[in-house]
Amino acid sequence: MAQPQRPAQPRESTAAIYQRRCDDFGRQRDTYSRRSNRNGNLSLALIGGALACLGGWLWRGAPALLLVAGLLGVGFVVSFIHHGRVDKALRRYTELYAINAEGLLRLLRDWDALPLRQPPESRPIRKAGSGFGQLFAPFIRTAATPAAGPADTARDAPSYAADLDLLGHASLQHLLNTPSTSVGQQRLRDWLLTPAPHPVARQRQPAVAELAPLNDLRDEFALRGRLMGVAQERPYEGFLRWAEDSPWLAGRAWLLWLARILPLITLGLYLAQQLGLIRPPLWLIGIAAGVIVTATSGRMVDDLIDGVAERQIVFATYAALFKLLGDQQFAAPALRQLQRDLSAAGVRADHQMARLGRLMALADLRGWMFFYPIQIATLWNVHVLWLLERWQRAAGAHARAWLAALGDFEALASLATLAHDNPS
């Protein structure tokens, strides 16, 4: 006897999906918020107790109070480290909640509440001419989208962009505005202004269809970009120009060898004086030479390092995004091509960006208040630039293609979000 068929389960609506995810992430956010508050109070109590015991030991001289102060101090350090981890989780779930709450705002077309993120290379386009967009413009502008003046008009936008509401407030760009990195925002803007050839558009469609149900992947990409904050708002073209340029030290081998030999000579002369082999402090000559080099060629070295350091905060995040994209199992040819772009010629984007982030930690020492003596004794910045230029020779030529792949993926993900929000 045939078994009766079960009725098909109704598909969960898009609004219900976003609401469920908001509820889940909101609970996690609230949980970590309470933990953060408790952790903060505990840290305050521990440091207060440690200081009180230390004061009691200074007053009474009781060794037990010093021991207790030390234990409470150790407890404070442990609590402080744990608090950082709790706050990191809190930021994660706060942003995930915001990402999905914006999904609800997109469904409602609540343009005033829905943020509009623009690439740093562009400015909001002015709605010129007549029509409903211009008629109601004074009523829909908000503090986040100020009235645009002549200087705000996008110079590279075609004349029809404003008439068709391609860019700016309550536009197609606003509706698709899920990319969270500057490269993704710029790529989406370029796609909106430059129609793709028919074969390219057809290649994108399977990729969009594959990405549409992958909410977790799309949210993770948006999350990591948002956690970079304002650090990524500086244009990245300067970094790419450096990556693709010829190494500066290659034509100044004398400076590199001086940075290698001079510290050794200075150290040798200092040890010789301490051992009584020589009397005059000849090592001061090496220090004086370090001061001269730092004040002359060292300034150019610092300028070159600073040009890379402007982007250093985002390197680790880009490495994580490249790894996230590279580790996925995709079927769409367009997506698989992006993965191949991230490992072309055997140079992996995630490994090289992570390596660059580690190198920039050495450059960070230049901001230390006691760094100058280290610099004049070792010519530290020359060694850092040499390491950076080794990266430049090995991976610099690939950096533009890596960022292009990242931008393409985020633009595809924005179209996939539109497909997810409008399944019919």
- Is the pTM higher than 0.95? no
Q: End-to-end CA distance of the chain: give it in Å, rounded.
A: 37
* Among 62-66, 333-337, 403-407, the least confident range: 62-66
Q: What angle do CA 336, 340, 346 make, to 5 degrees?
A: 155
φ and ψ at residue 138, rounded to 5 degrees: -60, -25
Mapping DSSP onto H, E and C, the string for the chain reads: CCCCCCCCCCCCCHHHHHHHHHHHHHHHHHHHHHHHHHHHHHHHHHHHHHHHHHHHHHHHCCHHHHHHHHHHHHHHHHHHHHHHHHHHHHHHHHHHHHHHHHHHHHHHCCCCCCCCCCCCCCCCCCCCCCCHHHHCHHHHCCCCCCCCCHHHCCCCCCCHHHHCCCCCCCCHHHHCCCCCCHHHHHHHHHHHHCCCCHHHHHHHHHHHHHHCCCHHHHHHHHHHHHHCHHHHHCCCHHHHHHHHCCCHHHHCHHHHHHHHHHHHHHHHHHHHHHCCCCCCCCHHHHHHHHHHHHHCHHHHHHHHHHHHHCCHHHHHHHHHHHHHHHCCCCCCHHHHHHHHHCCHHHCCHHHHHHHHHHHHHHHHHHHCCCHHHHHHHHCHHHHHHHHHHHHHHHHHHHHHHHHHHHHHHHHHHHHHHHHHHCCC
Q: 142: which residues sit within 8 A by CB, 6+ positions away? A: 112
Pick the closest to residue 399 from 179, 242, 227, 250 (CA basis).
Answer: 242
Give the confidence band of 310 by pLDDT, cuts at 50, 70, 90: low
From residue 199, how far is each of 202, 204, 339 by CA, in Å?
A: 5, 9, 20
Whole-number pLDDT of residue 313: 62
Whole-number pLDDT of residue 129: 40
- Tokens describing residue 368: 């230390």
What does the pLDDT average to over 313-333? 90
What does the pLDDT average to over 133-159? 42
Pick the closest to residue 382 from 278, 271, 257 (CA basis).
Answer: 257
Based on its alpha-carbon atoms, the radius of gyration of the chain, rounded to whole angstroms, reads 28
Whole-number pLDDT of residue 176: 94
- What confidence tens digit (pLDDT) does each residue in 32-74 have? 999 999 999 999 999 999 999 999 998 888 889 999 999 999 9
Better-predicted residue by pLDDT, 379 or 122:
379
pLDDT at residue 375 above 80?
Answer: yes
182: exposed, middle or buried (C-beta count within 10 Å: 0-12, 13-18, 19+)? buried
Pick the closest to residue 421 from 181, 205, 115, 176 (CA basis).
Answer: 176
- What confidence tens digit (pLDDT) does each residue in 205-240 have? 999 999 999 999 999 999 998 888 765 656 678 788
**Which residue do the tokens 């991230």 mark?**
342
Q: How many CA atoms lie within 13 A of 369 on its CB side?
A: 0
Whole-number pLDDT of residue 369: 87
- What confidence tens digit (pLDDT) does each residue in 250-296 have? 899 999 999 999 999 999 999 999 999 988 999 999 999 999 999 99
Better-predicted residue by pLDDT, 378 or 5:
378
- What confidence tens digit (pLDDT) does each residue in 13-32 have? 999 999 999 999 999 999 99
**Mean pLDDT score of the chain:** 87
With beta carbons less than 8 A apart as the criterion, state whether 379 and 293 touch: yes
- Residue 148 and residue 124: Cα distance in Å, rounded? 7
What does the pLDDT average to over 328-333? 96
